[in-house]
Amino acid sequence: MPFRSLETADLAGKRVLVRVDLNVPMADDVITDDTRLRAVLPTIRYLSTKGARTILLAHFDRPKGKRVPAMSLAPIAEPLSALLEQPVLFADDCIGEPAYRVVSKLENGGVALMENLRFHPGEEANDPAFVTELAAFGDLYVNDAFSAAHRAHASTEGLARLLPAYPGLSMQRELEALDAALGNPQRPVMGIVGGAKVSTKLDLLNNLVRKLQYLAIGGGMANTFRFAQGYDIAASLCEKDLADTARQILDSAKAAGCHILLPTDVVVAKDLKPGAATRTVELSQTAGGLEPDDKIFDVGPNSLAQLIDAMSESKTLIWNGPLGVFEVPPFDAATVAAAKHAAKLATAGKLIAVAGGGDTVGALNHAGVAAELTFVSTAGGAFLEWMEGKVLPGVEALQV
């Protein structure tokens, strides 16, 4: 993907509009997790050292085009200033006189944070008039918010069409990691897809079976596939109405040469609770293995061994979703073991391991190995849409 490199830009004295993701969890105006703040520090620091005047654009929550005081970005300015170890000015609006007044005070190397973009309906509508008002304060545009790149909003798509546009350092790192995972990967490529329901990941599965050599399916969604093949899954979570769809995905995988790995043995219990009495059972197409009230909550050791063997043979891994109900031990066993093996291979330089989306980050943190994988995306919806093969407007707009 051809992009301008920020390193080639003449930044000294330039006003640089930077789209960042500051949609952090808050409680009583106090940030409870500053991961997203830390993610934007490299780009802001780079711009400051080059003498740019950095103007941060961001949203918070969903005010739906109206000014909602509880959704102000004002409480973000001080914590961001502390992390940057330099002042961050705050403007009470992202356009008009309040924004102009603050931007005019910026010196070379200075940083300002504009108020919530979504206080204006023109942001989510990608209204050209609103884009023009935002662009009036900038000479260059930088997008460092991959997590918002799947939205064609004024600050993610419109500005990139109006000003010279660059990916930020975090955005560039994410794009390079994703390209290494699915764009131009080292083969064989393996995918792990888990989660509760097939219905939420149809586009994902249909895209991946055309691109992977191995695809391991876990979580509750594996039950739907096994049910479609005639296996007894007892009282386990299952979307029985998607049996035909599951069979179609399996047929597509076979035609594309993608080897699907489904559980052959499972860990069951009567109830989902910590320390529940469990049994490991071989799945069978005849009744007798599972009792009628058994529920599948994790994949078994034989299935895990098969997955780990395939991972060891692969050069690239892309992971979305846990293998079992990892939040409730002992049903975290397979997810933790697989995560640790992926981390071991990645650390040894034998595997490019890219993961992201929803519960995946939580599962990898639970396993204590998130930092050891090649790249872990916190972008959520944008990461999932990229895995589904969809065009991301905020990324497409940066291409030259």
If asked whether residues 53 and 131 sit together in one domain, one would say: yes
Local structure of 367: helix, strand or coil: helix
User: What is the residue-level pLDDT of the chain in tens, covering all 400 positions?
Assistant: 578 899 999 999 999 999 999 998 888 888 988 888 999 999 999 999 999 999 999 999 999 999 999 999 999 999 999 999 999 999 999 999 999 999 999 999 999 999 999 999 999 999 999 999 999 999 999 999 999 999 999 999 999 999 999 999 999 999 999 888 988 899 999 999 998 999 999 999 999 999 999 999 999 999 999 999 999 999 999 999 999 999 999 999 999 999 999 999 999 999 999 888 999 999 987 666 899 999 999 999 999 999 999 999 999 999 999 999 999 999 999 999 999 999 999 999 999 999 997 689 889 999 999 999 999 998 888 988 998 999 999 999 998 7
If asked whether residues 144 and 225 sit together in one domain, one would say: no
Does any domain span residue 396? no
Does any domain span residue 395? no
Domain boundary (124, 141, 170) is at 170
Extract the runs of DSSP E, i.e. beta strands, from the chain.
Answer: 15-19, 26-27, 30-31, 53-57, 88-90, 111-113, 140-143, 165-167, 189-193, 214-217, 259-261, 265-269, 279-282, 295-299, 316-320, 352-356, 375-377
Residues contacting 252, CB < 8 A, separation 6+: 206, 209, 210
**Secondary structure string (H, E, C) spanning 17-39:** EEECCCCCCEECCEECCCHHHHH
**Under 8 Å between Cβ of 206 and 248:** no
Domain boundary (106, 138, 170) is at 170
Does any domain span residue 177? no
If asked whether residues 135 and 236 sit together in one domain, one would say: no
Does any domain span residue 131? yes
Q: Which of 249, 150, 149, 235 is nearest to 199 (CA)?
A: 249
Q: Which residue has the tokens 């005081």?
A: 69
Does any domain span residue 366? yes
If asked whether residues 152 and 256 sit together in one domain, one would say: no
| Amino acid at residue number 111 | V
pLDDT score recorded for residue 379: 85
pLDDT score recorded for residue 1: 59
Whole-prediction pTM: 0.88
Say how many CA atoms lie within 13 Å of 166 toward its Cβ.
20
If asked whether residues 32 and 151 sit together in one domain, one would say: yes
Q: Which residues are catalytic?
A: 36, 197, 358, 381
Say how many CA atoms lie within 13 Å of 364 toward its Cβ.
27
If asked whether residues 302 and 375 sit together in one domain, one would say: yes
What is the count of structural domains for the chain? Answer: 2
Local structure of 49: helix, strand or coil: helix
pLDDT score recorded for residue 2: 79
Tokens of 112: 């300002």
Q: Which residue has the tokens 């599948």?
A: 296
**Under 8 Å between Cβ of 354 and 378:** no
Q: What share of the chain is helix, strand, coil (3-state, %, to 5)?
A: 45, 15, 40
| Amino acid at residue number 71 | M
Report the alpha-carbon distance of residue 120 to residue 130 in Å, rounded. 8
Report the alpha-carbon distance of residue 155 to residue 353 in Å, rounded. 31
Does any domain span residue 152? yes
Does any domain span residue 39? yes
If asked whether residues 155 and 261 sit together in one domain, one would say: no
Report the alpha-carbon distance of residue 251 to residue 247 in Å, rounded. 6
Domain around 344: 185-387
Extract the runs of DSSP E, i.e. beta strands, from 81-232.
Answer: 88-90, 111-113, 140-143, 165-167, 189-193, 214-217
Does any domain span residue 105? yes
pLDDT score recorded for residue 358: 67
- Strands 352-356 and 15-19, by their bridges, are unpaired
If asked whether residues 235 and 295 sit together in one domain, one would say: yes
If asked whether residues 331 and 223 sit together in one domain, one would say: yes
Specify the CATH number for the domain of residue 26: 3.40.50.1260
Q: Is the dihedral of CA 27, 33, 38, 39 positive or negative?
A: negative
Domain boundary (137, 170, 203) is at 170
Exposed (0-12), middle (13-18) or buried (19+): which is 369, by Cβ within 10 Å? buried
**Under 8 Å between Cβ of 149 and 382:** yes
If asked whether residues 132 and 192 sit together in one domain, one would say: no
If asked whether residues 344 and 203 sit together in one domain, one would say: yes
If asked whether residues 16 and 126 sit together in one domain, one would say: yes
**Under 8 Å between Cβ of 301 and 268:** no
